[in-house]
Amino acid sequence: MAAVNDIVIRIATVNGTGSASANGLLTKAIFRMGVPVVGKNFFPSNIQGLPTWYEIRVTGDGYQSRSNRTDLMVAMNAQTYAKDMAEVTPGGWLLYDSTWPRSQLLNRTDITVLGIPFSKICNERFEGVRTRILLKNIAYVGAIAALLDLDLDVITELLEETFGEKKHLVASNMEAIRLGYDYVKENFSCPLPARVEPMDATEDQIVIDGNTAAALGCVYAGATVGAWYPITPSTSLMDAFRSFCAKYRVDPETDKRTYAIIQAEDELAAIGMVLGATWMGARAFTPTSGPGISLMTESIGLAYYAELPAVIFNVQRTGPSTGMPTRTQQADILSCAYASHGDTKHVLLFPADPAECFTTAVQAFDLAERLQTPVMVLSDLDIGMNDWVVPAFEWDESYVPDRGKVLSAEDLEKVDSFYRYLDIDGDGIPYRTLPGVHPKGSYFTRGSGHTKLGRYTEDGDEYQDVMDRLLVKWETARSLVPEPEIQYSKFNKAAILTVGSGNGACKEALDRLSSKNIGLNYCRVRAFPFSESVKGFIEKHEVVYVVEQNRDAQLKTLLILDSGADPAKLVSLLHYNGVPLNAGFVVERVCEEIAKGRAA
């Protein structure tokens, strides 16, 4: 198996043993060598003691999805040896801690097994049980560096950046790395036929996770209030927002904070705090996941009907109920689109990677205030908690937040009367005021039946008048949300359509299918409601393969409901085991459908 900058490393360890630091070090070292790399973490929902895996895909072609193969398995967890060995691709390598004998029953003749006594060499050089465990994992960084020809100077530089003034930690970690590196150099032929060579493909790119990127987007959008209840996998979004605010949102003259972050007692309270803050004129948001959305739905309905702007980040995980909190999925699409009882429709934005998490966060706040409605950003665990290589963020310094139709005191002085829910411009969006601006701007914020003048009503016609106007606003939203990403050729009669984190796998699948002389067009929806271009894209094809990460074809259902797409044209390719989508799955399923005659 000879390959340069095309290798997949899978590292099997035990949760809570410090392997995350080692894996991050490897990923960033490859990135610093100018080589595109993808890191995916598969970890349990407990704090310590269960199996965890980390996958590093070195991809000189710059693909963004995980692979469906394992070239080099680093098996550091005896409990999963059998599983780990079975997953190695024929012709690949398995690296394991040979301090203790390995059962001969696990032998495979079609792979190369490399034994390194990590525990033994670390126990001989370091004191303390915890230190030895941590540095054993750092030692495999050195072993992999030797096998793949990684630059030790780059690794040293990263350690110095990580530990700063703590020179003793740099020294001990580097010693452990050298132990693994030297052992491999002395006992095996290096580098392996599959190795890493420096490139110049990561210039002007960064390594970042989606939650951090979204938090930074909130700062740039002008958000000043965040309320949340901690839940995996969204908690790190608020952690990052807090960190950014502490650095950039403190008045230099008074040393006072110009932001408010509140950990609520539950998700019901969190969304209530956000709605109160937005009613007062602040840009406010809450990050959560599926279970949190379930608890917030009544208040989301209030925001829709009372027309209060709010931004909600749903970093999706597997469900239903508690599900698997540390696995990814796209199974909240329908529950978010129609959250709450009664007739509601909510604007959804679907970022595909951390770069879009940054820009989408800004768009979400602008749309929420422009439309006076909740806007939900549907990320997922794969985007939110994994490190991605994306272009460095760019920012337009001339950006001015779109606050929508907000009347000032001067505006109110010029009008005879102000009616909160009256559509003057014909776009379904009324004018709003902020508390305390002017006596003329006072009104009741109603979640109960109300007229277009803002008065309480139980009259059916008056109620329906407001509900119909909300539909006009919905059509206005259709023209404001981000357009889909489309790749089109008139020669292709079939296409792939996907959403969010399915983007990387589907684009790689298009390349693989093209090499098989299967030409497909491509559409990635970026928002709901769907724009007219989504409907037009589907109409131009005989078959559209809808690729999504849930069991019940939620995106396909939404396409039928909102765009009027012909159900006979839509073929579902569903991936929902909690592991990020890979191109191999898409290619295999498309080929199966073609064999059934489901393609032009």
Task: Give the side-chain half-sphere CA count within 13 A for 353.
Answer: 20
Tell me if 421 sits within 8 A of 449, measured CB to CB: no
User: What is the DSSP annotation of 234-302?
Assistant: THHHHHHHHHHHHHHSB-TTT--BS-EEEE-SSHHHHHHHHHHHHHTT--EEEEE-HHHHHHHHHHHHH
Tell me which residue has tokens 């508690």. Answer: 322
Per-residue pLDDT of 335-355, as tens digits, reads: 999 999 999 999 999 999 999
Q: 49-53, 200-204, 248-252, 386-390 — which is least confidently predicted? A: 49-53
pLDDT of residue 164: 82
Per-residue pLDDT of 309-332, as tens digits, reads: 999 999 999 999 999 999 999 999
- Burial code of 180-217, b = ≥16 C-beta within 10 A, e = fewer? bbebbbeebebbbebbbeebebbeebbbbbbbbbbbbb
Per-residue pLDDT of 286-303, as tens digits, reads: 999 999 999 999 999 999
**Distances in Å between the alpha carbon of 8 and those of 58, 86, 206, 547, 581?**
6, 15, 21, 24, 15
Per-residue pLDDT of 501-528, as tens digits, reads: 999 999 999 999 999 999 999 999 999 9
Q: How far apart are CA 182 and CA 125, in angstroms?
A: 14
Query: What integer is the mean pLDDT of 217-246?
Result: 98
pLDDT of residue 1: 67
pLDDT of residue 113: 92
The residues with which 93 forms a beta bridge, in sequence order, are 72, 112
For residue 134, what pLDDT band results from cuts at 50, 70 and 90?
confident
pLDDT of residue 50: 87
pLDDT of residue 16: 80
Which residues have C-beta within 8 Å of that of residue 416, sequence separation ≥ 6? none
pLDDT of residue 168: 86
Q: Rg of the chain's alpha carbons, rounded to an integer? A: 27
Query: What integer is the mean pLDDT of 406-411?
Result: 96
Tell me if 362 sits within 8 A of 394, measured CB to CB: no
pLDDT of residue 2: 75
Structure tokens at 182: 């030297």
Residue 167's CB is within 10 A of a number of other CB atoms, namely 10
Tell me if 330 sits within 8 A of 550, measured CB to CB: yes
Tell me if 495 sits within 8 A of 522, measured CB to CB: yes
Q: Where are the alpha helices (DSSP H) in 377-482?
A: 381-385, 409-413, 460-480
Q: Whole-model pTM?
A: 0.95
Per-residue pLDDT of 196-229, as tens digits, reads: 999 999 999 999 999 999 999 999 999 999 999 9
Q: How far apart are CA 374 and CA 17, in angstroms?
A: 41
For residue 599, what pLDDT band results from cuts at 50, 70 and 90?
low
pLDDT of residue 118: 94
Query: What integer is the mean pLDDT of 267-293?
Result: 98
Domains of the chain, start order: 3-203 (3.40.920.10), 210-391 (3.40.50.970), 409-480 (no CATH), 485-595 (3.40.50.920)
For residue 15, what pLDDT band results from cuts at 50, 70 and 90?
confident
Q: How far apart are CA 288 and CA 276, in angstroms?
A: 18
The residues with which 571 forms a beta bridge, in sequence order, are 545
Q: DSSP character for 89?
A: P
Q: DSSP character for 111?
A: S
pLDDT > 90 fraction of the chain, expressed in percent and rounded: 89
Per-residue pLDDT at 600 exceeds 60: no
Q: Cα dihedral angle (462, 467, 469, 475), rounded to 10 degrees?
A: -170
Query: What integer is the mean pLDDT of 70-92?
Result: 94
For residue 17, what pLDDT band results from cuts at 50, 70 and 90?
confident
Higher confidence at residue 202 or residue 105?
A: 202
- Burial code of 521-549, b = ≥16 C-beta within 10 A, e = fewer? bbbbbbbbbbbeebeebbeebebbbbbbb
Tell me if 372 sits within 8 A of 364, measured CB to CB: no
Structure tokens at 378: 């549907």
Q: How far apart are CA 234 and CA 213, in angstroms?
A: 12
Per-residue pLDDT at 48 exceeds 90: no
pLDDT > 70 fraction of the chain, expressed in percent and rounded: 98
